[in-house]
Structure 1
Amino acid sequence: MRHLQASLLLFALAAAACAATSSAVAAQSSLLESVKRNPNEARALCRQFKQLNAQGVSATSNTAIAALASQRNLTTQDAEILATYVIGLHCTDVS
């Protein structure tokens, strides 16, 4: 009986983790799709990242990511994903 209870608890925890992960992935996907559909948004981010570089700040530094997260009301993880995506596809000359 105890083994069955432990198994059910593990199953419930795994299901909750999958649901949370699925929700996070969907949010990240829509965030990236918005930039993909709106190249002007990507260009604006590139300009912002280039300004940071001109000041000697990496666009992927903790400070820059925190600012991007604050600007766009994102988690720092989502801001880091967004910055990496935009830099990789639209402004490869940014560091």
Structure 2
Amino acid sequence: MNSLLITLIFTSLGLSQDAIAQSRLLEGVKRNPDEAKSICKTFRELNKENISAGSSKSIQQISIQKNISEVDAEILSMYVRGLYCPETF
């Protein structure tokens, strides 16, 4: 019983750390619209080449530029597209 409780505590701590990190990532873009505009510009350039902003190439590019995981880059991509440049595909 105690080991189950300890496992649940550590699991919830790990999940909350991920949520906090993602929240900081999104808040950073929210507070700095120029960063979002820059990302949108990149998406528009990719779209001109018929490459989706949600493509693996785009996600990898964001991941490298921001030094974040590809999962976080995908979340950031969806957030930025939804709020700042919904016309991109």
TM value normalised by structure 1: 0.89
The offset of 1:46, in angstroms, is 0.3
For residues 37-78 of structure 1, the C-alpha deviation after alignment (integer angstroms, 9 at most, x for no partner) is 111111110000111111111111112111110111001111
For residues 61-80 of structure 1, the aligned pairs below 5 Å read 61-80=55-74
The offset of 1:12, in angstroms, is 1.3
Aligned length: 89
- Taking only the aligned residue pairs, the percentage that are identical comes to 39
The offset of 1:14, in angstroms, is 1.1
CA RMSD of aligned residues (A): 0.8
Unpaired segments of 5 or more residues in structure 2? none
2:69 aligned partner, one-letter code: T
Paired residue for 1:9? 3
Take 2:60 and 2:10, find their aligned partners in 1: how far apart are those partners? Answer: 28
Unpaired segments of 5 or more residues in structure 1? 1-6
Runs of 4 or more consecutive aligned structure 1 residues displaced over 4 Å after TM superposition: none
Specify the SS of the correspondent of 2:88: coil
Pair member with larger Rg: 1
Paired residue for 2:78? 84
TM value normalised by structure 2: 0.95
